């Protein structure tokens, strides 16, 4: 999913609306373009935004298709005249953990096309119109799997590492021209997939975190809002982990051993 804010800064009157089981930031009075493949869900969210005082358009889009992404940005510009903020959040899924040598080539290609190519295409067409508007901010969705590998997820891990690489490259190329580009890297978050997995899987995922819980979509949303806002005006090329301490290192030995038997 892509979320574009054409007018309205994220630090004013923050509101978060649930879209595709991610809370996404919007401003009261902002002009927002929403893009995803699910036309019905987009329409519902656009209506919610409109009811809350935002001008909103829904543009059904396959973000892995260059012509579709170019059309999305063009429709945003036709509707609102300029583009200030972009949140690029598309991830392929559905592939069970599979050793690399057993992974079908088309499954790997699909992960790269949806998760990585979509970010490249989005920024390719977002950046020129942001330059015309005098600058802006972009946030890309990576993952803790973009910072450390997970066995059995070769396509996903490759793509999420790539998102961070693209983020840094774009940040370096456009920092002097008024565009900031950052990424967020969530760990286990209560998204639709984890909701479907059920309470036991959620408990196990939370117990594996140093904070002993999974994250909430709202916590990711607040980080995205901050990176879009003027409060992060000196931040670019960064990847912000949101993972309850998962990447900090090994838990204390006493916790690894479990409760004492004496």
156 as an active site residue: the answer is: yes
Q: Which of 90, 100, 226 is nearest to 163 (CA)?
A: 90
Residue 118's Cβ-side half-sphere holds a number of Cα atoms within 13 Å equal to: 29
Dihedral of the alpha carbons of 11, 216, 116, 246, in degrees to the nearest 10 = 110
Map residue 97 onto helix, strand or coil.
Answer: coil
Q: Which helix (H) or strand (E) segment is 253 a member of? A: helix 253-257
Q: Is 85 within 8 Å of 10 (Cβ atoms)?
A: yes
By DSSP bridging, strand 14-19 and strand 2-7 are unpaired
158: left (phi over 0), alpha (psi -120 to 50) or beta: alpha
Contacts of 182 (CB under 8 A, 6+ apart): 137, 138, 139, 140, 167, 171, 227, 232, 235, 236, 237, 238, 239, 240
Written as six digits, the tokens of 95 are 């592939």
Name the active-site residue from 4, 108, 125, 156.
156
Point out the residues that are catalytic: 156
């Amino acid at each position: 999913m892509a979320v574009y804010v054409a007018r309205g800064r994220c630090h004013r009157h923050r509101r978060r609306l649930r879209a595709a089981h991610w809370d996404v930031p919007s401003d009261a009075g902002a002009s927002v373009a929403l893009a995803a493949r699910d036309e019905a869900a987009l329409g519902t969210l656009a209506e919610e935004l409109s009811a809350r005082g935002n001008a909103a358009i829904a543009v059904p889009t396959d973000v892995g298709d260059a012509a579709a992404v170019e059309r999305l940005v063009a429709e945003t510009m036709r509707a609102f005249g300029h583009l200030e903020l972009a949140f690029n959040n598309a991830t392929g899924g559905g592939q069970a953990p599979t050793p690399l040598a057993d992974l079908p080539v088309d499954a790997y290609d699909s992960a790269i096309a949806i998760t990585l190519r979509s970010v490249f295409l989005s920024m390719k067409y977002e950046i020129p119109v942001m330059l015309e508007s005098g600058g802006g901010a972009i946030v890309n969705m990576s993952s803790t799997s973009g910072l450390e590998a997970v066995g059995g997820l070769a396509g996903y891990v490759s793509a999420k590492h790539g998102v961070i690489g693209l983020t840094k490259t774009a940040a370096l190329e456009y920092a002097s021209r008024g565009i900031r580009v950052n990424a967020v890297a969530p760990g286990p978050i209560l998204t639709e997939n984890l909701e479907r997995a059920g309470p036991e899987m959620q408990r196990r995922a939370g117990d594996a975190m140093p904070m002993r819980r999974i994250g909430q979509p709202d916590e990711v949303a607040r980080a995205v809002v901050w990176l879009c806002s003027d409060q992060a005006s000196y931040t670019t090329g960064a990847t912000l982990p949101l993972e309850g301490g998962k990447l900090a290192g090994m838990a204390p030995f006493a916790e690894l051993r479990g409760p004492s038997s004496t």
